Amino acid sequence: MKYSKLFGKTIRDVPKDASVASHQLLLRAGFIRESTAGRYYLLPLGLRVQQKIQSIIKEELDQAGAQEMATPILHPKYLWEETNRTKAIGFELMSIKDRNDFEFVLGGTAEEMLVDLVRKFQISYKDLPFNLYQFSIKFRDELRARGGLLRLREFLMKDGYSFHISEEDFKREYQNMIDTYTKIFQRLGLKTQIVEADNGYIGGEYSHEFVVESDNGESRYFTDGEGYSAHEDVAKFSLESVGSDEAMKPLQEVEGKGIIGVEELAKFLKIPVEKTTKTILFETDTGEVVAAAVRGGFDINEEKLVKIIGCKMLKLASAEIVQSITGAKVGYAGVLNLPQEVKVYLDESTANRKNFEMGSNKTNYHTINVNFGRDLPEPEQFYDFKIAKEGFIGPNGQKLIAKKGIEVGNIFQLGFYYSAKMKGAEFTDADGKKKKYYMGCYGIGLARSLATIVEVYHDDKGIIWPEAVAPFLVHIVGLDMEAESVKDEAERVYKLLLAEGIEVLLDDRIGVSAGEKFADCDLIGIPYRVVISKKTTDKLEVKKRSEKQTAFVTFAELLKLVKG
């Protein structure tokens, strides 16, 4: 490709609304342009990279036995109603009617579509297992798009769905996909952590995210440096035991005007932080008010609590509601004397304590020396809805380290989540009986992977593409191109490289300074730079984008170098 003909030139200025590196660089280097928020044009350079990513994913998945196919983008809405996912919160679904008022949703994931396809066939145990995948445009009506390609509303996704006769066979495939994804991301140059995660609106019981550590990521997770990694929504950690063999003391209300924070309160009451209790009132999506309490020093993870309550959404109860229910201002809630209709959820961190503190439901008052069994009934059940924090002890006994990263892929156990809900989602087993199949699903976001590569591989001058995904392998910078002999030499080398099957971008522009050409070359980030100018002799000046030193090599040596 000649740069003079390439559509989508570089720009020098950093775009105003682009804050993350990948967004800035992809815009400036001419890989992408925004259409509307969260929807991008991929320019020829950007599409080339995405296609390389796509090829790598396809190769590895085919190698792993998966089969590519394609579903329509418009999914009949009745399928999503069959699984009740039209009502799932967190899924930013868009729907549309055709001229006959038939309703569709714009595909976000395709579990129902795949089950609907598979049930068109009379499948038997002999047909199982299979893993079907597609590359298709997916839609998420996100509240906020951000970071260029990092969170899009419309993007190319690889989504795969596997079908099994048993959980055991599914587990084999789940491991197969873990291995395959690991290989894929390695080939893309991305070092991924496999992080336990929440299944959310996808359903099923467990899942894993493939996360690339990055400050620009939105996935917050914990690792213990010893193999345990989990998203904050599901991270497990052990509780330090709190002494519980002391004798019960008399219950007492203490005035502590305006003292709300746990640390301040503990100091004021002269008790350890773990004897304080944080009680929060929430409203559910159905308008119910619930109270949730954790031990001082912990916070509540709303995702965990939503699952425990079995509701779809939670929000903090308004000050008015808190006042009307507790009779006190915000900050003094406790579970001692709440109206009966307010359901109480106690985190396990509140258990095994003696003489603990709790809000009095009375403005400015805290009750101390509270004890289960005496002041409060011994609860039937404690729950786990605490959020992990850096320094907490993980399940392997190591301290947890907080991380941020970009989720580039995820894999889900679905189990019978879909096949149980959808009619005819079954196979005929060897015994002639119809049985529900066991499922898993597997996703990779291509545009986000592309942006993540840029997050990892760049410097202050531009992108530094890994060879496997680079839009071109060699960037010939032609200087003095107005001189016929230089132009001829540049064209000669260009054609020789092309003839060797090497992808080359030739900067053949006339009237552009050497400085500009070098700056563009660094910005675009093609792995090998070859300079051809008046000074070029029988040796070619070559430099790797990722290195500083240049070398002078023969064409044969250049070939050897770039062919690796």
- 62/218 with CB nearer a copy of itself: 62
CB of 348 to a copy of itself, least distance (A): 37
| CA atoms of 524 and 480, how far apart (whole Å) | 21
Cβ contacts of 25 within 8 Å, gap of 6 or more:
454, 458, 462, 463, 523, 525
- 113/294 with CB nearer a copy of itself: 113
- 402/512 with CB nearer a copy of itself: 512
Q: Which of 8, 327, 379, 466 binds a copy of itself (CB under 8 A)?
A: 8
Alpha helical stretches, state H, 226-301: 262-269
CB of 67 to a copy of itself, least distance (A): 4
Cβ contacts of 492 within 8 Å, gap of 6 or more:
none
- 170/332 with CB nearer a copy of itself: 170
Letters for 142-171 (x = contact with a copy of itself by CB under 8 A, - = none) are: -x---------xx-----------------
CB of 142 to a copy of itself, least distance (A): 9
Among left, alpha and beta (phi > 0; psi -120 to 50; other), residue 119 is: alpha
Q: Which of 5, 16, 423, 433 binds a copy of itself (CB under 8 A)?
A: 5
Coil, strand, or helix at residue 67? strand
Asked if 228 contacts 395 with a C-beta cutoff of 8 angstroms, the reply is yes
Under DSSP, the state recorded for 239 is: P
CB of 75 to a copy of itself, least distance (A): 8
| Residue 116 in the binding site for a copy of itself (CB under 8 A) | yes
Under rule CB under 8 A, which residues in 360-399 are in contact with a copy of itself? none
> Which span (101-109, 324-332, 481-489, 522-530) binds a copy of itself, by CB under 8 A?
101-109
- 42/451 with CB nearer a copy of itself: 42
Letters for 10-49 (x = contact with a copy of itself by CB under 8 A, - = none) are: -----------------------x-xx--xxxxxx-xx--
Tokens found for residue 121 = 């066939």
CB of 68 to a copy of itself, least distance (A): 6
DSSP string, 447-504: HHHHHHHHHHSEETTEE---GGG-S-SEEEEE-STTSHHHHHHHHHHHHHHHHTT--E
Rounded to the nearest 5°, which phi and psi values hold at 120? -75, -15
| CA atoms of 76 and 94, how far apart (whole Å) | 12
Q: Which of 73, 260, 308, 498 binds a copy of itself (CB under 8 A)?
A: 73
CB of 98 to a copy of itself, least distance (A): 5
CB-based burial, 260-281: b 16+ in 10 Å, e otherwise: eebeebbeebebeebbbbbbbb
DSSP string, 294-347: EETT--B-HHHHHHHHT-S-EEEPPHHHHHHHHSS-TT---SSS--TTSEEEEB
CB of 485 to a copy of itself, least distance (A): 23
Q: Which of 9, 87, 374, 534 binds a copy of itself (CB under 8 A)?
A: 9
Find the radius of gyration of the CA atoms of the chain. Answer: 30
Q: Which of 18, 88, 92, 146 binds a copy of itself (CB under 8 A)?
A: 92
| CA atoms of 14 and 550, how far apart (whole Å) | 28
| CA atoms of 27 and 8, how far apart (whole Å) | 10
| Residue 120 in the binding site for a copy of itself (CB under 8 A) | yes
Asked if 305 contacts 275 with a C-beta cutoff of 8 angstroms, the reply is no
- 73/260 with CB nearer a copy of itself: 73
- 48/403 with CB nearer a copy of itself: 48
Coil, strand, or helix at residue 519? helix
| Residue 6 in the binding site for a copy of itself (CB under 8 A) | yes
| Residue 98 in the binding site for a copy of itself (CB under 8 A) | yes
Asked if 70 contacts 159 with a C-beta cutoff of 8 angstroms, the reply is no
- 125/372 with CB nearer a copy of itself: 125
Letters for 125-144 (x = contact with a copy of itself by CB under 8 A, - = none) are: -xx--x-x---xx-x-x-x-
Q: Which of 14, 69, 344, 420 binds a copy of itself (CB under 8 A)?
A: 69
Asked if 534 contacts 515 with a C-beta cutoff of 8 angstroms, the reply is no
Q: Which of 18, 54, 76, 146 binds a copy of itself (CB under 8 A)?
A: 76
- The residues binding a copy of itself (CB under 8 A) are 4-9, 33, 35-36, 39-44, 46-47, 50, 65, 67-76, 92, 94-96, 98-99, 102, 104, 106, 113, 116-117, 120-121, 126-127, 130, 132, 136-137, 139, 141, 143, 153-154
